[in-house]
Structure 1
Amino acid sequence: MEKGKSVVAELAASLSDIQVTPRRKPTSLLPATSFYSPRKKARPRKLVSLCTGVLGQHLEDIISDISEFTSLFPPHIKLAIMSIARRRRLLNDEVLVSLADSSWKILDISGSDVSDVGLTTVAHIFSNLWAIDISRCEKITAAAVSEIICHCPSLEILRCGGCPRSEFTARACVNLLKPKLNTLEEDSWEELEAVDIGSGAESLRWLVWPKIDDNSKEILAAECPRIIVNPQPSIFGHHGLKIPSEAFANIPLDHSIVEDIDPKTWAVCAAPRRMAAPPQPNAPPEIPIAERFRLAYVERDARLAPKRARRERQHRRRAERDYLMNDIDAKSIALASKYLRKS
């Protein structure tokens, strides 16, 4: 393990020295089917992507000690590692807290084991968070979403739903998204300038909730008309407003983070199936499982029968002795018979 740690440390040092200029992909206005369509890459993968892919393939071996290496990685590498961990179903509270960085603008924890504890912990450092995906998260409730809304003033995209528990959480968060005015008492308007007089998701613009119920949709349309629910791709945008690709449900939120990494990195192979041994012609027939349980019960009952009979005899003698000691007539008869026996 020490050798593995040194290799990871050397790899992290080499990654930190590489100056990476993120390649911004022009936002297309074509239909959504063209956003996530596979296409051949004309250029080879970057060296930093190849190194991250190698690290991601062996993520299970270092995931328990990931907190010891996070300080060596630059923020974009930590975000890529978190995306790979999510795809390999290794993302939980400990991994998220270890990798979280204040410079992140997107956070995709969809389908992970992250709970309220982990999300609330990192919410205080994500001051620049712009988009978050909590869909298919069974352990996240409205309490953690409230912390994200409170501590992330730049949040514009929220993705939720996808499973029964997440649908329930999304319905519980509808009231959190509505703007509210706080009741404050000050002597003059000048004193209110530095005080937060409003609450709610003030900067939220796009809500991706594929199976939103009609009641929640009507509430948001009436009280939060600024929030656009489930935007559809269009060459004209939405009322002239350009729709970001992160607001489309068919594109993973962290797709641009791992776009240059080999998909084999997060491919988890299933365990090889055992080959059943061929039946031998002279072997006795296999006993059904129900008959095995019945024979085991009969064997146990026969083994415990002597002990049970001995315990019953002890109880009978104890009952007879208690009767002779407590009943006056029985005691007199016993003493009389004892006297007659002596005489």
Structure 2
Amino acid sequence: MDIRKSEEKLPKSLKNLNLNTNRGQKNETLVSAYLAFSRISALKSKPPSLVSLCLGVIGKHLEEMIPCLPDISIIFPADIKLSIAAIARRRKLLDDHVIVSLADSSWEILDVSGSDVSNSGLAKVAEMCKSLRAVDISRCNKITSIGVSELVQHCRSLEALRCGGCPGSESTIRRSLIIFKPNLSNVEGETWEELDITEIGHGGQSLRWLVWPRIDKDSLAMLSSECPRIVVNPKPSLVAYRRDEVPQEALPDVALDEPFIKDIDPKTWVVTGVVQKPTSFPLSNELPIAEKFRLAYAERDARLAPKRAKNARQQQRRAERDWMMSSNKAKAMFLASMATRSLYKS
């Protein structure tokens, strides 16, 4: 192998190495580094799999397939259905019809964040997919506490729940906290060992991780005191292989359905000419700056309305006075009208 050519193809970080060796050892080291770098480059530039290419084509024409999706989704494996659902969510096509058509009984994760899925769709999917362990319903304005109740009743293995992100979802999870609280009003037994878990809870007894980035202080205090088993906004464990290690599904940094589309090039399913809405939404409830300006202008306009009305009346009286003084005829007509008014009053 030509040492000069191999050295030219190496990145600067490898070419600038300070090798305290003789010429032969340096050449041998450069060749080894070049071969290793070539292998890494080949791995990074490997062609996409046939499955990824097919999913890209399906995602690109998903709008055309939605009407007949219930019929054709039967032939798809469970992981392929999850990939299609993930693409539909990113293309803002995920609703009750799509998610129910793709739902598979073997699913363990469900990500409908920022979609148009409602209580009805969530309840049907929860009834079909009773093995769900992690669910993301954040930024879903059409899901209320009714949908959350259906979810925890059907999915007894639910461990991680992501929520919040918009005013509607914040209100939903706040109203749903009572579902996770134990009910000890009608409990009989002298020791905790005698209590049956089905008698002391409304549901969601398996829930352990709650991802709610903008949780308020009152809700956090309530969960800490009445539901200590639930960890709110968990942090990744620093020590590996701990028993209480936080699962990836409970960490908000990565989308719940990201592993199912990581090998698919987004360019293969993004439709040209269609402006994609952002997949992430601001977590704060703060109003946009444009809305703040509009409200400030409306408030100022209402405050100045009486002053503008007073100025308008003054301008009208001034105009009448100027018109009266403009000619003798106008003055005579004005005096005649005043005399008429005085006669009617008397």
CA displacement at 1:46 relative to structure 2:
2.4
Quick one: which of 244, 252, 266 aligns to 1:249? 252
Query: Structure 1 residues 85-94 or 227-236, which shifts more?
Result: 227-236
**Counterpart residue type for residue 107 of structure 1:** L
**Is the CA contact (8 Å cut-off) linking 2:237 and 2:245 kept in structure 1?**
no
CA displacement at 1:215 relative to structure 2:
0.3
Counterpart for residue 73 of structure 1: 76
**Map of 1:171-190 to 2, 5 A cutoff?**
171-181=174-184, 183=186
**Map of 1:93-172 to 2, 5 A cutoff?**
93-172=96-175
The root-mean-square deviation of aligned C-alpha atoms, in Å, is 2.6
Is residue 224 of structure 1 aligned with residue 224 of structure 2? no
Counterpart for residue 67 of structure 2: 64
User: Identity over aligned residues, as a percent?
Assistant: 53
CA distance in 2, matches of 1:196, 1:210: 30
CA displacement at 1:150 relative to structure 2:
0.7
Quick one: which of 196, 199, 207 aligns to 2:198? 196
Structure 2 residues not aligned, in runs of 5+: 1-42, 189-194, 276-346
CA distance in 2, matches of 1:127, 1:267: 32
**Counterpart residue type for residue 165 of structure 1:** G
**Is the CA contact (8 Å cut-off) linking 1:128 and 1:154 kept in structure 2?**
yes
**Is the CA contact (8 Å cut-off) linking 2:57 and 2:269 kept in structure 1?**
no
Is residue 46 of structure 1 aligned with residue 54 of structure 2? no
CA distance in 1, matches of 2:240, 2:217: 24
Cα distance change, pair 116–238 in 1 and its aligned pair in 2 (3 A)? farther
Paired residues in the alignment total 228
Q: Which has the higher helix share?
A: 2
Q: TM-score, normalised by structure 1?
A: 0.61
**Map of 1:21-36 to 2, 5 A cutoff?**
none
CA distance in 2, matches of 1:214, 1:65: 47
Quick one: which of 55, 58, 70 aligns to 1:55? 58
**Is the CA contact (8 Å cut-off) linking 2:236 and 2:245 kept in structure 1?**
no
CA displacement at 1:260 relative to structure 2:
1.1
Quick one: which of 263, 267, 272 aligns to 1:264? 267
Q: TM-score, normalised by structure 2?
A: 0.61
